[in-house]
Chains A and B, each alone.
Chain A
Amino acid sequence: MTTGRATRGFGLFGSPVPGHSLVHRAPLWVKFGFVLLVGVSTFVVRDWRVSAAVCGVVLLVHLASGLGLRRLMRSLAPLLPILVVLTGFQWWSHDLPFAARLVLGILAAYVAAGILTATTPVDQLLDGIVWAARPARRWVDPETVALTISIMLRSIPWIAGAFGDVRESAKARGLERSPRAVILPAVIHTVAYARRTGDALAARGLGDPR
């Protein structure tokens, strides 16, 4: 299967972009705090203009980390239809300021999380998660938690790609309107992928107790 490349490597869960910007060099906890702050702001802030300001700051940080407009646009592309529908719906059911506050909040949180994953090498992210999971080590192995999360991050774009591929091959057979022809194969591909990944991890002894 030739999993769609466009859906992979960009977006919230895209691979890190090496660089030496201030954002790249900032310690992980600062970046994580930033993401957390932006996230919290979305349900604390009541005024859409403040939301716009937060969103603006996040976009500035994105540009300051040298990630570029292109990556931003490509990462937003899959989210855009949802945001448009959401705006319309909230505008209709509430009012425009409410819709703006909501959508700007989502946008800010999404881009902020994208900055974190784009400027932090996976290895460093893993160390951060291991560190954060230490208090729970009586119940779970922090390394396992970190590995689980990173596999999850890696898998989301893959699964999105699988749906894209399957839809294409369904289209080639004139079946793109049949949910059965799209969803079923995508689910089967995904399960096969999960088994392969599980095998690969097991083969490398990554799930073994230490």
Chain B
Amino acid sequence: MTTIELDEVIVEVAADGGPSRRRLLGPVSTRLTEHRVSVIGANGSGKSTLLRLLNGLSLATSGRVTVAGRDVKTDGAAVRRLVGFGFTDPLSQLVMPTGREDVELSLRRSHRDRDTRRKAAEAVLLRFGLGHLADQSIYELSGGERQLMALTALLATDPEALVLDEPSTLLDLRNTMLLRRALTALPQTLVFATHDLEHALEAERTLVIEDGLVAFDGDPAGAVQYYRARAEALG
């Protein structure tokens, strides 16, 4: 399991036009060692802000984030090799016209030779059962196929951990189940944000984010219960 550690992490941005700063997250201190961690919370609570810290997509204003002992701030490139990051919309993830080309792009770093790279890409696509869709334009794939393709491109480099920001939000029920099954089978450490509480329950540990703070941290059933109660109290 890959250990992810946050130590007194705060994220702030400049508030419009003034010297004052707006706090989006923190202070958050936590140590994630579980195989599956889910993150839930209201819109705008700070889930994405938290997840983006985990592979250095954004950096903490203060505090420290480490993955497997490596500091995200000073050792970003190494952390990104360890941690794959998945966006809600696979179209922002896939930067090449077809799935195969996108997987090959992922592999450019590890496979300098084109023929071995092509073989490796083929193997990855077959492993995830996407061989028949590899050469189709990503715009012509269904939402579910596209999300699986994006996941495949992420997994091509064999990361140790995956951070997924609402991976099933754009999917229908069948594709959500398909994606969940694919995720369950992965050996990687997985941290994911979701509004699908059923999915959140499949984790070993759940964080509830509220106004940029970890409001609940513990077993998924308790977290979901807490989150529901809070939503009812507020609404």
Contacts and interface: CB of A to CB of B under 8 A. Distances in A.
- Tell me what chain A mostly uses at the interface: helix, strand, loop, or mixed: helix
B123 interface: no
Given A122-B101, A143-B108, A205 B81 contact: yes
A108 to B, nearest CB: 25
A56 to B, nearest CB: 30
Interface residues of A, number: 30
A40 B219 CA distance: 69
Interface string B155-172: 000000000000000000
A197 B84 CA distance: 16
Contact of A197 (B57, B95, B106, B139): B95
B114 interface: yes
Interface string B64-88: 0000000000001100110011010
Contacts of B2: none
Interface stretch (A8-16, A30-38, A165-173): A8-16
A199 interface: yes
Most buried by A among B76, B81, B96, B101: B101
A8 B94 CA distance: 15
Contacts of A201: 95
B67 to A, nearest CB: 13
Most buried by A among B57, B93, B97, B154: B97
A210 B80 CA distance: 12
Interface in A166-206: 196-197, 199-206
B77 A121 contact: no
B109 interface: yes
B130 interface: no
Contacts of B117: 123
Contacts of B154: 204
Contact of B139 (A5, A196, A204, A206): A5
Nearest to A5: B139
Contacts of A206: 105
Most buried by B among A16, A147, A199: A199
A127 B81 contact: no
B95 A154 contact: yes
Contacts of B114: 123-124, 127
Given A122-B101, A203-B85, A15 B77 contact: no
A151 B85 contact: no
B104 interface: yes
Most buried by B among A8, A150, A200, A210: A200
B97 to A, nearest CB: 4
B92 interface: yes
B38 interface: no
Contact of B57 (A8, A199, A208, A210): A199
Interface of B: 55, 57, 76-77, 80-81, 84-85, 87, 89, 92-98, 101, 104-106, 108-109, 114, 117-118, 135, 137, 139, 153-154
Given A197-B95, A203-B87, 15 more contacts: A8-B139, A16-B97, A122-B98, A124-B114, A126-B108, A154-B95, A197-B92, A199-B57, A200-B93, A203-B84, A204-B153, A205-B80, A205-B81, A208-B77, A208-B80
